Structure formats: C-alpha cells, structure tokens
Amino acid sequence: MIYLSGKSVEHPDIGLMMSFNVGKQAIGNNKVWAADNGCFARPDLYSDEKYLSWLSKFPKDSCLFATAPDVLGDAEETLRKSLPLLPKIRDVGYKAAFIAQDGATKDLPWGDFDCLFIGGTTNWKLSQSAGDLIAEAKRNHKWVHVGRVNSYRRLNLISILGADSCDGTFLAFGPDKNLPRLLRWFDYLKEQPSLNLNQLKRSY
C-alpha cells in the first residue's frame, strides 16, 4: 500500500498527491506521486487543455496515475466528462485514472483506463457497491486507489479489499505528530492481516 499526501513529506514510504491549480508544487527526485485534476476544488479554473499542459511539466516515470475529470457523487456525469480525456492522458505519457462516483457499476470501459480511483461520498465509498467495484477492477488487472483515507480503520478496510494506494489529508495537520502515527498504521497492517472485514465495517 502506498500513501499519498497533499503535503510533501521527506519519507521514502510516503508519496505526493499533486493537484492542478493548487499553488506552486514540486516533486523531489524519484518521489512517487499522482496527479489530481483539481476540477472539484477549482472548477472555474479547470479546462482539459490547461490540465494536460500542466501534466507536461512533471516526470512521468514516477507518476502512479493522472485522474480524468469527475463530478462528486454523480457517476453518469463523471463518465461523460472522463471518456474524452482518458486517451489524451495516456497520449501524453501517463497512466489514466477513472474516478468512480456514487452509482458507478461494474459496467465500465475497463480498457480505457489503467487505474480505478474510488471517490464519491463517504457512504458510497464504504458501501458494498464500492467493494464490488474494487473486486472487478482487480479482475481486470487495474491499479486501485482510494481517496480520503484518514483513519487506521479505513486504511485496514481498503487494504483487505485489495487497494494498491490511497490518499488523505492526515499529514497536512501536524505532520511531525501524525507521520509517526501513519507509519505505525502500516506496521499494524503487517501485524494484523486477517482482521474480520465485517467487524471493520461495523466499527465505522
């Protein structure tokens, strides 16, 4: 499991989540990272052309994926917005990520993207539908990323479901205190790989 933070942290096990239109950002040498389209945070500044131009400034080899645009909580509109850009993201040398939103089903254009990003509202993200979608993504040999993971319980749950990476804002608030906590969470994952999934779901 790879954890991506919006705050750059000098630690080999923590990657960087870069967001379009969020101030000046830099990637350290060999830093694992991913690109978020930023259209939710600043829809007034987003355009496909500007986003693709922004992507061209960064190293591609260390990037896990670049997301296509999405609409929070709306699977149908997200699919409409994403489909034209997914091949263009690949054309500029990145692995393309489709962000699944509330209502997404297993009937996705799996051949058009490389990474399934579980977005959506919290209730949907933790639902059986999202879990089934992760399972289908793994059957299609896709990288799976889950957004907004800021607790050990959620990290453990998505690890059991088979996620490859996740992101969160946990390190943005008190990184000196929270980085050791985050690293302990990953130690716990290694020590407790067989926790019961149903128990974890009930504990949310």
**Residues 140-163: what's their mean pLDDT?**
96
Is the Cβ–Cβ distance between 115 and 147 less than 8 Å?
no
Is the Cβ–Cβ distance between 66 and 82 less than 8 Å?
no
**Residues 76-91: what's their mean pLDDT?**
97
Domain that holds residue 188: 2-202
Quote the DSSP letter at residue 170: G
Question: CA of 32: how far to CAs of 2, 16, 60, 124, in Å?
Answer: 9, 6, 10, 28
Q: For the whole model, what pTM was predicted?
A: 0.91
Q: Is 7 exposed, middle or buried (0-12, 13-18, 19+ CB in 10 A)?
A: middle
Residues 29, 33, 34, 39, Cα dihedral to 10°: -80
The CATH number covering residue 177 comes to 3.20.20.70
Task: Provide, rounded to the nearest whole percent, the portion of the chain with pLDDT above 90.
Answer: 75
Q: What is the mean pLDDT of the chain?
A: 90
pLDDT of residue 76 exceeding 80: yes
C-alpha 116 chain-centroid distance: 8
Query: What's the number of domains the chain is made of?
Result: 1
> And the tokens for 200?
């974890």
H helix or E strand, kind and range, residue 17: strand 14-19
Q: What is the 3-state secondary structure (H, E, C) of 107-144?
A: CCCHHHCCEEEECCCHHHHCCHHHHHHHHHHHHCCCEE
Per-residue model confidence (pLDDT) at position 196: 44
Per-residue model confidence (pLDDT) at position 193: 53
Q: For residue 11, name the pLDDT band (cuts at 50, 70, 90).
A: confident
**Residues 133-152: what's their mean pLDDT?**
97
